[in-house]
Structure 1
Amino acid sequence: MLLDDAFLVPEDAESAAGSTRLERTRRNALADVELALSWRSAQAAHTDVYAAFNLNLWRDWMPPEIEALLLDKPLGQTGGLKLAPGVLTAESNPRDVLDIPLARFNKRYRKNLVVEPRAGRFYPKGYIAGVRDIYSEDFTPFRVGAVNGETLTVDLGHPLAGHELTLSANILDIREVASERGGRAQDVQQIIAGNGPGMQARWRGQPTDFFADSPFARGDEDDDGLFYTRPRFVDHLDSTALKQVRRHYARLIAKGARVLDLMSSMNSHLDAALELSAVTGLGMNEDELAANEMLSRRVVHDLNRESRLPFPDADFDAVVCTVSVEYLVRPFEVFREVARVLRPGGKFIVTFSNRWFPPKAIGIWADLHPFERMGLVLEYFLESGRFANLKTFSLTGLPRPRDDKYASQMQWSDPVYSVWGEAV
């Protein structure tokens, strides 16, 4: 794994009252399992974690290699499995990359919207209906590899094809199944790799064209100071997701560090056990910052008006930015500034989810697949030229807390996505 050990702990497992707990997995058992897929691109290391709850080891479909990783195992980590090409995704096939006329891309596929194809971006296959017998209702993603005049290079393969993959399992809970009565089977391959992993990497090492079409335009271009005048004393993610964010930061930030919480609010989501020597909060609302008991210093500052940070060089050991990067309209300048105020080797950790204030988010954010958003943030890091050891992390599949106000409408906890690097 990209991270040194398992991410989830047994307390994250689903409680099933009355179920008989087992010491080892077996076919007539249910298991809650953390499945962590690790891989590398030319620019970064990646770990994508899926929390597979109520995995039915008799009914759910999985390749023999993954079955062997999970069966007859005790609670805890089962080790890593290097996956041969074709086990988790289809093998890389040169026939999946082809040149087509630009006219085959239906720019008006979405009602009342004209979409121009951009190199490196993903689109539903319905945009190129008729190519290779693709039909217009096919929403499976394909990638535009390159745009060359009146010709498009498109890649129909899986975004992980060609990458060396390692799968790790961490068994959180095992319980007996009293009887089998049918039901819906899970496709383990699909839940691990079918919903985005691979989309955060560049295509063949070429920068993704996120920056055409005015990507930083917003629905509300009025003064940000007016929008943030009224304090909002609410957390923007559910409690399970926020716990995972705190845990994520605790794994990456050293005890006693000096931390800048960039675009801060009433909470910094930093674990008190880190015993940080100082936490500076930079945000837009004075009342929200005042309510944040973690902060030792508070600075009201609008990064969209003035990207220069009011701190000396090498002033911090770590900088965190939590569910806010989507509001930056000058991200390149801000990322260079963050590198300046970090000591060499200090980490900049950007974390986000799938919830935001639409009027103030940059226009491209809502158009991207969640895993493409990690790719966008990676491009911010790469463009600055000031960070090394880049990494991405995703965590999906955890159940929403039962006491959450949206629990009746949403089954899953808010996903956690993160990109980070070390200042050079």
Structure 2
Amino acid sequence: MKKIHSNAIASIEFKLSWQSQFASHVDCYFGEKVNFWRDFFPQALQEALLDKTVGDEVEVPLPHDDMILPHSSHNIFTLQRTQFNRRFLHGKILDPRLGRFYPKKFLQNVSGAVKEKLTPFRCIRFDETTLQVDFNHPLAQHTLKLAAKVHEVQGSHEERGGRCNDWVEIMTRNGIGFHSRYENMHTDFFYDDPFARMDWTDDSEFYSTPRLVTHLDAKAIEVITGFYSQFIKPGMKVLDLMSSWKSHLPEKLELADLMGLGLNQEELENNNQLTGYLLHDLNKTPRIPFDDKAFYAVI
């Protein structure tokens, strides 16, 4: 069986775990062609993965260094409210909201904020004339652990050109940490009615036609199934909310009850894991039609 060496190419499942004030978080990323000769890794992770083979898993602490800089008060700035470009998006006016993240390109006359830059900043305080922003990385104050599981080892081969990947940057640049609160203050998610529907057509029209397709790729389904298996145990009663023809639970998991709630009967009838189902439109009647404490878990 092939082992990882300094010139190997491998498929690696990365898991970044961290703790916020209210929850434990695990963010997953699948690297299909991880190049151990060319790509960038934390040194501890690269050393831990050497000589590992398919199925092996390692975990290392992820220090705050050049990849994710430690939190610094020097990255907090007070600006004029007018430096937030409310009209940056064509045809829409946006106001800054407490705790929310925005791309730096929304800012005007600020060092490091250019139109092409999507790097986020956080709005942490404001009044009628000023705006305080935080340029620190969303994970800068959290203790991080990085795990890696080997799925395939391809060995080495001759290369001409190509690109090198910074895997920590790839994992942490697209929203990880955005949902944690700033100094335990509630993030203002609700001012501009974010749950307002763009299309008020009755949901029953959309779901009148069965869609027996998967909306995730095989690797994402594998990750979700593995996540469910950590918390959902044999003998439990589980509610599959907004259910369809797949529940993504482990096939061999024997539950006392798996109830599906959805909008298309044919999709629900094709879900072999369900022990029962109910057609129910939660937009019309936003109350789940079951007794309290009827289920151990809801997915």
1:234 and 2:213 aligned: yes
Tell me, yes or no, if structure 1 residue 22 matches structure 2 residue 22. no
Q: Secondary structure at the match of 2:224?
A: helix
1:117 counterpart (81, 96, 100)? 96
Please state whether the residue corresponding to 2:271 is helix, strand or coil: coil
Q: Residue 153 of structure 2 is aligned with which of 174, 177, 180?
A: 174
Letter in 2 for 1:22: K
Of the candidates 121, 132, 135, which is equivalent to residue 156 of structure 1?
Answer: 135
Which of 42, 48, 65 is matched with 1:86 structurally? 65
* Structure 2 equivalent of residue 288 of structure 1: 267
> Between Structure 1 and Structure 2, which shows a larger proportion of helix residues?
1
Instruction: Name the CA shift for 1:66/1:233 in 2 (closer, same or farther; >3 Å).
Output: closer
Cα distance between partner residues in 1 of 2:278 and 2:293: 18
Instruction: After superposition, give the CA deviation of every residue in 1:314-372 in whole Å (9 maximum; x if it has no partner).
Output: 1112211xxxxxxxxxxxxxxxxxxxxxxxxxxxxxxxxxxxxxxxxxxxxxxxxxxxx
Check the 8 A contact 2:81/2:130 in 1, yes or no: yes
Alignment of 1:250-269 (within 5 A): 250-269=229-248
Amino acid corresponding to residue 216 of structure 1 in structure 2: F
* Equivalent residue letter for 2:192: D
Measure, in 1, the Cα distance between the counterparts of 2:46 and 2:66: 12
- The aligned runs of 1:381-392 (5 Å cut-off) are none
Q: Deviations over 1:86-136 (max 9, x none)?
A: 153011110111121111100111111111111122111110032124222
SS in 2 for 1:192: helix
Q: Cα offset for 1:268?
A: 2.4
Give the residue type in structure 1 aligned to 2:210.
Answer: P
Query: Of 189, 204, 212, which aligns to 2:191?
Result: 212
Compared CA separation, residues 289 and 151, structure 1 to 2 (3 A): same
How far did 1:75 drift? 4.5
For normalisation by structure 1, the TM-score amounts to 0.65
Structure 1: which 5+ runs fail to align? 1-20, 321-424
CA shift, 1:266, in A, is 2.6
SS at match of 1:225: helix
Amino acid of the structure 2 residue aligned with 1:220: D
1:127 aligns with 2:99: no
Q: Is contact 2:257-2:275 (8 Å) kept?
A: yes
The alpha-carbon deviation at position 159 of structure 1 amounts to 0.8
Q: Matched residues in 2 for 1:63 and 1:238: separation?
A: 28
Find the counterpart in structure 2 of residue 141 from structure 1: 120
User: Could you tell me whether the CA contact under 8 Å between 2:75 and 2:136 is conserved in 1?
Assistant: yes
Name the TM-score, length of structure 2 as normaliser. Answer: 0.90
Residue 64 of structure 1 corresponds to 43
Cα separation, partners in 2 of 1:282 and 1:178, compared to 1, 3 Å: closer
Q: Percent identity?
A: 40
In the other structure, the counterpart of 1:222 is 201
Structure 1 residue 197 and structure 2 residue 176: aligned? Answer: yes
Q: How many angstroms apart in 1 are the aligned matches of 2:106 and 2:114?
A: 9
Contact 2:45 2:59 in 1 (8 A): no
Structure 1 residue 163: Cα displacement: 1.3
CA contact under 8 A between 1:129 and 1:136: conserved in structure 2? no
Quote the offset at 1:211 in angstroms. Answer: 0.7
SS at match of 1:245: helix
When residues 250 and 154 of structure 1 are mapped into structure 2, their CA distance, relative to the original with a 3 A threshold, is same
Contact (CA 8 Å) 1:77, 1:168: kept in 2 or not? no
The one-letter amino acid of 2:237's match is: R
User: How many aligned positions are there?
Assistant: 299
Separation (CA, whole Å) in 2 of partners of 1:48 and 1:147: 31
* CA RMSD, 1 decimal: 2.2
The answer as to whether partners of 2:42 and 2:62 remain within 8 angstroms in 1 is no
- The amino acid across from 2:128 in the alignment is G
Query: What is the deviation of 1:74?
Result: 4.5
Q: Secondary structure at the match of 1:132?
A: coil
Give per-residue Cα distances to partners, 1:67-88, cap 9 Å, x unaligned: 3233344544454322332153
**Aligned partners of 1:280 and 1:296 also within 8 Å:** yes
Counterpart-to-counterpart distance in 2, 1:290 and 1:240? 25
- Aligned twin of 1:361: none
Once the two structures are superposed, the pairs formed by residues 298-313 of structure 1 within 5 Å of their partners are 298-313=277-292
Structure 2 CA distance for partners of 1:178 and 1:236, relative to 1, 3 Å: closer
